[in-house]
């Protein structure tokens, strides 16, 4: 199925938008009038530019307040339409989109609207142009696609069809059943937009919060199911008004748009099987079995400090890379890689970002298929030279230019520690850490939807609802992606305030990246005691927190005393308890968390403000 996107979805000038749209692999583009008006050239220049990029102009938008006008406005409206037809002729575009009338002086009545469309259809057909009628959710007389379709049906003109826009349909929670009964040749265009469910006026919701399929909450598969029922094989066009997209780079947002449609169509193919025949096959979302390793990059000084911290956390240095200055640290099922080599990706990452997490490796069921899917989703594959006999691990670019590697059990990729590393004698001193519970990544606010889609489209993960966490410097928006069994949990955090810990992390670190890693333990009290013995500084939690905890829970006094003495935060939900403790900041950038999860499903959001305030006190640059 061919795809298209509206110029209004992207930032920049028209030429920049068109180049980004073509580079992302779209076949078509909806040209918005505002983009044409600000373009330094004639409509014919636009037509030539579009053709030179291999694109087709799907439609020219918008044409408002057409149907049901009384005279003398009606005559003027038709004259206005004729001028638009002239312009469309110069643009080389044959579909005019008309959204339902919102003018206070417009008149209702299906037959009146149908008669207007019949006359417009006559005029359009003479020029080889078609007309699509779309019900705006806030239209004055027509606000429901079923009414728009009734107008089109009664007008009964070959040049007039109905446009289906998922936002207008879902925002009014309109039943989808009637879509299936529209003949496919009467559907002029299908426009797709997702959005979070919000309680607000529909116009603001539409103009600021639309997003790409998969980034919001609308049941778009049900919508697509109804569209497929009609046999429609025309264009799927993204029409997204979103402030974050208008703040981001046109190229990135265009790629996200393509990715969203590739992912949506893949889901349709899986749902419908052979009935979804115009959709190409691709490997399924990768089943994630866990985090195989997290790789830190550091110069020699920072590497020495990090190695001491790893040892303090109970990790053993179990291997040394055969050809590079890279060590392997292990405890329970956790593997950490410390890279201070003077060559290669990790080194250049270190030069830009300082000591940081430069890569994560996921254990998946099929690494090659995961890379194949990633490439089809327009993720960016990464390769670098490896030593003789060493493994080339499939990888794509992740957040902030970091890498996301994929290995699988049962192949050479599952034996990477034996192949690439020389084993060292195991030390003792483990602190009871079992596995990585979750990884938290901080990013710019306008990147959040992008990385959400990246993970959800590639991996078999679900997303939790968005959550706002109070930081002393402002609000941090947080959303978690996790695999059904919890083998992978990644928290995505972003803030529009410059003063939050999340934002200061971005500033000091020169970009987005891993902010903290939470290690799971089966006995947090024993683990924290062991860490203290090892000289690891833990984050101090104020006494007030425990006084409040005592007041709002039924925890016995000795249990509370134990939490208080060890700086452990507590939460519980319907499914269990959650205990958290934090290592005091490492260089003010990333940090480590220790958690004991007893069936609990969340991430201790209730405790986040306490933790953030305690961390802010530690940092000299903390918000006042
Ligand atoms: Mg629309
Ligand atoms: Mg956490």
Please write the tens of the pLDDT for every residue from 223-246.
999 999 999 999 999 999 998 888
Distance between Cα 41 and ligand 1 center (Å)? 26
Gap from CA of 557 to ligand 1 centroid (Å): 60
**pLDDT above 70 (res 25):** yes
Surrounding ion ligand 1 within 5 Å at CB are 165, 191, 239
pLDDT at 501 over 80: no
Rounded to the nearest angstrom, the distance between the alpha carbon of 201 and the centre of ligand 1 is 17
User: Ligand 2: distance of its center to the CA of 572 in Å?
Assistant: 15
Q: Evaluate whether 135 touches 168 at the Cβ level (below 8 Å).
A: yes
421-to-184, 313, 415, 416 alpha-carbon distances in Å: 60, 22, 10, 8
Is residue 515 pLDDT above 90, yes or no? Answer: no
pLDDT of residue 469: 79
Question: Per-residue pLDDT for 622 more than 50?
Answer: no
pLDDT in tens, 62-72: 899 999 999 99
CA of 169 to the centre of ligand 1 (A): 10
Asked if residue 133 lies in contact with residue 163, where contact means CB atoms within 8 angstroms, the answer is yes
How much distance in Å is there from the Cα of 166 to the middle of ligand 1?
8
| Ligand 2: centre distance to CA 300 (Å) | 28
Mean pLDDT of the chain: 92
- Those residues whose beta carbon sits under 5 angstroms from the ion ligand 2 are 518, 593
Element (H, E) at 173: none
Quote helix, strand, coil % in the chain, to nearest 5. 40, 25, 35
Q: Is the dihedral of CA 31, 34, 38, 41 positive or negative?
A: positive
Which domains are delineated in the chain? Answer: 3-276 (3.20.20.150), 288-423 (3.10.180.10), 433-623 (3.10.180.10)
Q: How far, in Å, is the centroid of ligand 1 from the Cα of 151?
A: 17
Is residue 623 scored above 70 in pLDDT? no
Determine the average pLDDT of the residues in 121-145.
97
Indicate whether 588 pLDDT > 70.
no
What are the Cα distances from residue 612, in Å, to 180, 322, 469, 478, 572?
51, 41, 9, 14, 19
Query: Is the pLDDT reported for residue 120 higher than 60?
Result: yes
pLDDT tens per residue, range 335-388 = 999 999 998 999 999 998 889 999 999 999 999 999 999 999 999 999 888 888
CA dist 135 → 66, 67, 279, 413, 432 (Å): 12, 11, 28, 53, 60
Ligand with the closest atom to the CA of 241: 1
Whole-number CA gyration radius for the chain:
28
Give the 3-state secondary structure of residue 354.
coil
Ligand 2 centre to CA of 8 (Å) is 37
**Which of 168-182, 297-311, 366-380, 381-395 is predicted least confidently?**
381-395
* Strand arrangement of the beta sheet that strand 403-407 belongs to: 381-382, 395-397, 403-407, 356-364, 288-297, 334-339, 326-331, 316-321, 421-423
What DSSP character marks residue 279? S
Cis peptide upstream of residue 301 (ω within 30 degrees of 0): no
CB 417 within 8 A of CB 319: yes
pLDDT tens, 32-55? Answer: 999 999 999 999 999 999 999 999
pLDDT of residue 513: 85
Mean pLDDT, residues 1-14 taken together = 94
CA angle at 334 for the pair 301 and 582, rounded to the nearest 5°: 65
Instruction: Read off the pTM.
Output: 0.93
Q: What is the pLDDT of residue 614?
A: 84
Residue 576 in this model has a pLDDT that exceeds 50: yes
Backbone angles phi, psi at 459, to 5 degrees: -115, 155
234 vs 616, higher pLDDT: 234
Per-residue pLDDT, averaged over 157-176, amounts to 97
Distance of CA 306 from the midpoint of ligand 1 (Å): 53
Q: How far does the centroid of ligand 2 lie from the alpha carbon of residue 519, in Å? A: 9
C-alpha triplet 293, 589, 617: angle, nearest 5°? 135
Q: Ligand 2 centre and the CA of 604: distance in Å?
A: 7
Percent of the chain topping pLDDT 70: 98
Q: Which ligand is nearest to the CA of 593?
A: 2
Residue 47, pLDDT score:
97
Rounded-to-integer distance, Cα 350 and Cα 338, Å: 12
Distance 163 CA to ligand 1 centre (A): 8
**What's the full length of the chain, in residues?**
624
Residues 533 and 542: beta-carbon distance below 8 Å: no
- Tokens 């990147």, located at residue: 447
* Å from CA of 376 to ligand 1 middle: 27
pLDDT band at 503 (very low <50, low <70, confident <90, very high): confident
Closest ligand to Cα 59: 1
Task: Calculate how far, in angstroms, residue 590's C-alpha sits from the geometric centre of ligand 2.
Answer: 12
* CA atoms 79, 84, 87, 89: torsion sign: negative
């Amino acid at each position: 199925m061919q795809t298209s996107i509206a110029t209004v979805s992207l930032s920049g000038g028209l030429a920049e938008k068109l180049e980004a749209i073509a580079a992302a692999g779209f076949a078509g583009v909806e040209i918005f009038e505002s983009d044409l008006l600000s373009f330094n050239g004639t409509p014919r220049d636009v037509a030539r530019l579009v053709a030179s990029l291999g694109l087709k102009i799907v439609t020219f938008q918008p044409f408002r307040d057409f149907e049901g006008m009384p005279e003398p406005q009606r005559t003027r409206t038709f004259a206005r339409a004729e001028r638009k037809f002239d312009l469309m002729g110069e643009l080389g575009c044959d579909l005019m989109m008309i959204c339902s009338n919102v003018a206070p002086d417009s008149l209702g009545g299906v037959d009146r609207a149908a008669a207007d469309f019949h006359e417009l259809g006559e005029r359009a057909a003479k020029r080889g142009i078609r007309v699509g009628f779309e019900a705006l959710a806030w239209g004055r007389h027509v606000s429901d696609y079923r009414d728009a379709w009734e107008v089109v049906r009664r007008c009964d003109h070959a040049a007039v069809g109905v446009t289906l826009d998922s936002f207008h349909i879902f925002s009014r929670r309109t039943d989808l059943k009637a879509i299936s009964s529209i003949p496919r040749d009467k559907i002029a265009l299908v426009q797709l937009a997702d959005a979070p469910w919000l309680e607000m006026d529909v116009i603001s919701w539409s103009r600021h919060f639309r997003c790409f399929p998969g980034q919001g909450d609308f049941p778009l598969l049900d919508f697509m199911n109804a569209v497929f029922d009609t046999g429609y094989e025309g264009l799927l066009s993204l029409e997204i008004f979103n402030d974050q997209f208008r703040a981001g780079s046109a190229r990135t947002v265009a790629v996200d748009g393509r990715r969203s449609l590739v992912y949506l169509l893949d889901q349709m193919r899986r749902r419908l099987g052979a009935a979804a025949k115009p959709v190409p096959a691709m490997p399924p979302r990768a089943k994630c079995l866990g985090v195989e390793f997290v790789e830190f990059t550091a110069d020699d000084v920072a590497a020495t400090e990090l190695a001491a911290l790893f040892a303090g956390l109970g990790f053993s240095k179990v291997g040394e890379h055969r050809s590079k200055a890279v060590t392997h640290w292990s405890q329970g099922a956790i593997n950490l890689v410390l890279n201070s080599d003077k060559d290669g990706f990790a080194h250049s990452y270190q030069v830009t970002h300082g000591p940081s997490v430069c890569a994560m490796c996921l254990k998946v069921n099929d690494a090659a298929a995961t890379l194949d899917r990633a490439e089809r989703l327009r993720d960016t594959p990464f390769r670098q030279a490896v030593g003789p006999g060493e493994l080339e691990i499939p990888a794509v670019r992740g957040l902030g230019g970091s890498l996301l590697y994929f290995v699988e059990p049962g192949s050479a990729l599952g034996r990477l520690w034996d192949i690439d590393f020389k084993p060292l004698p195991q030390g003792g001193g483990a602190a009871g850490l079992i596995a990585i519970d979750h990884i938290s990544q901080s990013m710019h606010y306008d990147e959040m939807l992008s990385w959400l889609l990246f993970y959800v489209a590639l991996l078999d993960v679900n997303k939790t609802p968005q959550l706002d966490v109070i930081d002393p410097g402002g609000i941090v928006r947080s959303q978690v992606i996790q695999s059904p069994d919890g083998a992978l949990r990644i928290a995505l955090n972003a803030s529009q305030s410059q003063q939050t810990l999340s934002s200061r992390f971005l500033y000091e670190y020169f970009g987005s990246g891993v902010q903290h890693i939470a290690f799971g333990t089966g006995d947090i009290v024993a683990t924290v005691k062991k860490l203290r013995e090892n000289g690891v500084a833990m984050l101090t939690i104020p006494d007030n927190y425990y006084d409040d905890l005592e007041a709002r829970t039924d925890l016995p006094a000795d249990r509370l005393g134990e939490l208080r003495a060890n700086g452990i935060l507590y939460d519980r939900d319907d499914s269990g308890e959650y205990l958290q403790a934090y290592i005091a900041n490492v260089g003010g950038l990333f940090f480590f968390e220790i958690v004991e999860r007893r069936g609990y499903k969340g991430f201790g959001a209730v405790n986040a403000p306490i933790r953030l305030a305690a961390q802010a006190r530690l940092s000299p640059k903390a918000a006042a």
